[in-house]
Each structure stands twice: as structure tokens, then as C-alpha cells.
Amino acid sequence: MTALTAALALASLQAASLAPEQTAWSEQTAQAALDAVREVSGVPGLSLAIAIAPDQGLTLTSGLSDIAQARPVTPATQFRLASVSKLYLASLAARLHQEGRFDLDAPASDFLPDLSPRLGRVTGRQLAAHISGVGHYTEADRWPDLYTRHYDTAIEALAIFADRPLLAEPGTRYHYSSFGYTLLTAVIEAATGRVYPDLLATEILQPFGLPETGPDDLAHRPESMTTLHTLTDGVARPAPVRDYSYSWGGAGMRASAGDVARFGLGHLDPALTPPETWDTLQATTRLVDGQVVSDRGYRVGLGWRRMTDPLSREVAFHTGVIVGGRSALLVYPEESIAVALLANSGWVAQIDRTAALLAAPVLETRPLDSRAGCPETDLPLAGYFDGQAMTARLILNERDGLCLGTLELDGGLEVWLAGFNPASRPYPLFALSSQAGHSVWLLATPVGLADIHMEMMETGPRLTASWGARALTLSAAPQ
């Protein structure tokens, strides 16, 4: 047991590099932004955990764990992890490989000789990197048995897709596949002679100190498990009950945000994760022709992906979406922190970006200090979003020690965001940083946080932001 697993209580933020007043500002800003995201999006409940090496951290919560009973989210509330579950299986596979107990590069048929020849050819490394050719969900997977039948082992669940053809020759193309992770789970069960939940508990959960993590088993749910919700037009309703035992390793885990952050940070602790194991997990995968594997601009490793976050920091991460849940885990190797953001409903969100920006106040070294003069502004703006003309009103002021504001919209951006939550307007702004006439603000929208960059020009402020290929530009409107 390391100091990390023993002392990471995630109860308060006392980072040695932060002055006490900045520590308070960081927590206050992150909490305000988390609350605003929940209110604007309509998500019932959120939990954010930031683990700071070696033994410090922060957990913030917002909203309700159960709408009907008005039960609040607490740091102990557990959520469905959706595809963040894949990181636990990938870490287990890499650990077993490093210890010589499982060969990532051996064909699946070495462990499961009764597999069809097409599935038997794929390797554990190919399955973990989504280059095995095994397919993802199809229309056929809407049949009730997939979500109502309980599978005691992953080997049993192979019957769901065992007869389907591969989408490509193993190692030649990237195809994201949760069923690939079911097969990887089954191969590891066969290689070790143990069922996945038991193996995961002894090899990962116990060493990492994760008491609030486990399979989302409908028959053995903890009292701290959140009620699951769906989100439609900004309105949350109870979600249908589904059994994800066919995919413990790909989509079926549950955990508190604090446990997820601890799990992420444990990959930076050599006592828990040898550096060579971490290197195996995050190294960029290549196809048989040498081409780098990427997905939507992210570099793909074994489960883990790599990207540059909105504020230009390198991060390893994964996200997930499932009926009743949305999830993100980000690990910042250079800063030695891990960030977990969990929601108790599905949510059309850039959740990796949102998690990174919620953590930004903790990492920020140049906060916009309200005591030094928060800009008091009520100003009409005009500009473009995604090529469409629009107008806006920018309102900024100091409140409770923070520089806050709103962006009232009329035009392209409002129309686009209203498609996710028609009731959401105006959109809250939170000051993040300031340097030489340039400040960065967090904008809470129905699809999560965005970073707004504000330049002070002779004619007034100029605001810029982007949502993928969509660009926003606003400047002071002529009076």
C-alpha cells in the first residue's frame, strides 16, 4: 500500500504550489462552473474529482443522484462508467503481459481453441487498440436478450457476436469495438482460469485502493449507486434498466469519481504501475503497414488515447456514454494529476474538453484576480458563428470574489446550442486567466464547457472560441 492509496482522500485541495487565496479561488471557480454546466445542460447530477500527486485532491459534486427522492450527489455516489471501463481491462491486460501471465501478441485461439478461425486469429493487443476487425454494435443488438440476460462469464457472452464476420483483416484498420473488449475479457478469463470481476478486484482494485469500484451488477448494487436517467430536450427522466454483464470489460463498470481519479493517478505511481506498463498502454498503435492509429484526431494506444487539451497540455484519456451515464477520465503525466467527471444521464457533450476545463482552475497560474479590478461590462457584440451572422450581449461583473458574467446570444450559436437544450439561455461565463491584455473565460453551454478567449482591442473586447470546425468571433458592436 503506497502513500497514494492510503492518503488520497480527495476531500480538500491543498496543493503546495498554490497560495491559500488561489486554492480557494480554484475550488470556488471549479464548483461554480460545474454547477453552471449542470443547470444549463439539464443533466441531473455530476461529480468531479481531481487527484493531485502524491496524496492530495479535490472532489466536487452538483445536483441530484435521484430526482424522484431529491437525493443529492455526494463524493461517495457511484456512476456507470460506460467505455471508461475499457481502461480497467486494458490496464489489467498490460499488467498481466508485463508479468508474463498473458501474451498480448498471441492469437486468441491459443487461449480459446474453440473460437471460429476468423476470431481465433486476432491478438489481445489488436483487441485493446480496436484494430482487430471485430465489429461494434449493430441494429441486431437492439434485441432484448442483450440487455436483459445475465452472463456469468465473458466466455458465455461471446455467443452474441461469435458468428459475425470481421470488418477488416486484423491489424489493417481501426474500428472501435466494445465487443472486441468482450473477446479480450474472455481471452484473459481463459488464460488465467478466473472470471473477470474476481481477477480485476485482486489485480487492480485492491492494489490501487478502490473500494467504490466494481461491476454494475444489477443484483448487487451498492446503496450509493446513483439512479440512472435519460436526458431529452433538457428534461431528465428515469432510464430503462439494462444488464451490462456481457461487457464488464468494455462498458459495465461503476465507480465514484474519486475512485476513478485515484485509478488514473495510480498509473503515474511506479509502485502501482511500472513505467514500462504505462508505456505499453499509452504508446501510439500502428497498423501492419506502419500507419499511426488515430480516431477523431486522438492518438490511440491500448484503451488509452492521447490528445492536447484546450489549454495545450498533453493528456491521456478515455470517455464513455451509456444509457444512464456519461464519463471521462483524464491523466496529465507532466502535471501529475488525474481528472474524473461522471454524469448520471446520457449527455450530448464534449465531456473530455469539459473535464479538462473544469480542472483548469487547479492548474492555472495566472488567475484573473477580481481584487485587481474585474471588468464591469454590459456591451453589445456582433460577429459570426460557423459563418452565420449573429449578435450577443456580454455582461461581466465581480461577485463573491470571482469575475463572472453571461453571454446572451441571438443567432447562429444560440440556434445550434438550443438544439441540445431549448431552455438554456443566457450562458454563464467564468474568468480563468489573464495575461497582457488577453484573458481566458469558461463558457457553460448545453454541450459542456468551452474556452472563450478575450482580447482587449482599442474598440473594446474581441471574443473567439471554437467547437471543432465551428468558429465563433465577436467584437464590440458599433454604437
pLDDT confidence of residue 349: 85
pLDDT confidence of residue 145: 66
Q: Where are the beta strands (DSSP E) in 186-336?
A: 213-215, 229-232, 235-238, 253-256, 294-295, 298-300, 305-308, 314-322, 325-332
SS3 of 95, please?
helix
SS3 of 307, please?
strand
- Record the pTM: 0.93
Written as nine digits, the cell of 5 is: 492509496
Contact 407, 451 (CB under 8 A): no
d(CA 198, CA 178): 20
Beta-carbon count within 10 A of 312 CB:
6
pLDDT confidence of residue 15: 35
Maximum alpha-carbon separation in the chain: 77
pLDDT confidence of residue 364: 76
**What top-level class would CATH report for the domain 1-365?**
alpha beta
Contact 267, 278 (CB under 8 A): yes
Indicate the domain borders of the chain. 1-365, 370-476
SS3 of 265, please?
helix
Question: Is there a shared CATH topology between the 1-365 domain and the 370-476 domain?
Answer: no
Ordered mean pLDDT values, 10 residues apiece, the chain (479 residues) = 30 38 81 96 96 82 95 97 98 96 97 94 97 87 75 93 93 95 97 96 96 94 94 87 92 96 96 95 95 92 94 94 95 94 92 95 72 78 94 91 91 89 90 84 95 88 90 86
pLDDT confidence of residue 296: 86
Q: Which has the closest alpha carbon to 28: 333, 364, 282, 349?
A: 364
DSSP state of 412: H
pLDDT confidence of residue 8: 30
pLDDT confidence of residue 4: 30
Computed on alpha carbons and rounded to an integer, the radius of gyration of the chain in Å comes to 23
| Residues sharing a CB contact under 8 Å with residue 373, sequence separation 6 or more, in sequence order | none
* Third-level CATH fold of 370-476: Lipocalin (2.40.128)
